[in-house]
């Protein structure tokens, strides 16, 4: 005897498949938000800050919204450019509508302080994510050791 697995034989998803889909959605959202957060272009900050806000909710969104003007002014004054990369993502606690996510990331930064040279920076970031209307959003972001 054998079992056939496929859309005709077993419609719907198994709990394991649903969990895998959830983990993939959380990971994609975390990667997208961290990359948006680390990107700086002093000549075009508005779409960059909008991208961060699009993936944010709760406390993080409020804090980021209140700092957009200062961030933009600092980026312009320092002629800052930065591109980020995500090296690793690990999931901590995950339930139906919240998750803790740990991200090892880096960025290549260039500004007046680096005298035009590109500087590599490493980051360890903890995200608290919340599922809202079918999307995983960052509700808290903190830099960790």
pTM here is: 0.89
Please report which confidence band the pLDDT of residue 15 belongs to, taking 50, 70 and 90 as the band edges: confident
Q: What is the CATH number of domain 16-143?
A: 3.10.450.50
Task: Decide if pLDDT at 2 tops 70.
Answer: no
pLDDT over 90, % of the chain? 86
27-84: pLDDT as tens digits? 999 999 999 999 999 999 999 999 999 999 999 999 999 999 999 999 999 999 999 9
Within the chain, where are the H helices? 15-38, 45-54, 58-78
Which among 23, 22, 36 is positioned nearest to 105, based on CA atoms?
A: 36
Residues 124 and 102 sit within 8 Å (Cβ to Cβ): yes
pLDDT at residue 116, rounded to an integer: 84
């Amino acid at each position: 005897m054998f079992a056939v697995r496929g859309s005709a034989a077993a419609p719907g998803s198994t709990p394991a498949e649903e969990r895998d889909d959830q983990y993939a959605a959380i990971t994609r959202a975390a990667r997208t938000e961290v990359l948006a957060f680390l990107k700086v272009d002093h000549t075009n900050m508005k779409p960059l800050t909008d991208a961060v806000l699009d993936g944010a909710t709760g406390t993080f969104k409020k804090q980021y919204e209140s700092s957009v003007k200062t961030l933009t002014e600092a980026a312009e004054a320092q002629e800052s450019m930065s591109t980020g990369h995500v090296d690793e993502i690990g999931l901590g606690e995950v339930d139906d509508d919240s998750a803790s996510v740990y991200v090892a990331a880096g960025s290549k930064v260039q500004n007046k302080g680096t005298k035009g040279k590109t500087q590599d920076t490493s980051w360890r970031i903890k995200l608290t994510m919340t599922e809202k209307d079918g999307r995983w959003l960052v509700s808290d972001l903190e830099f960790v050791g």
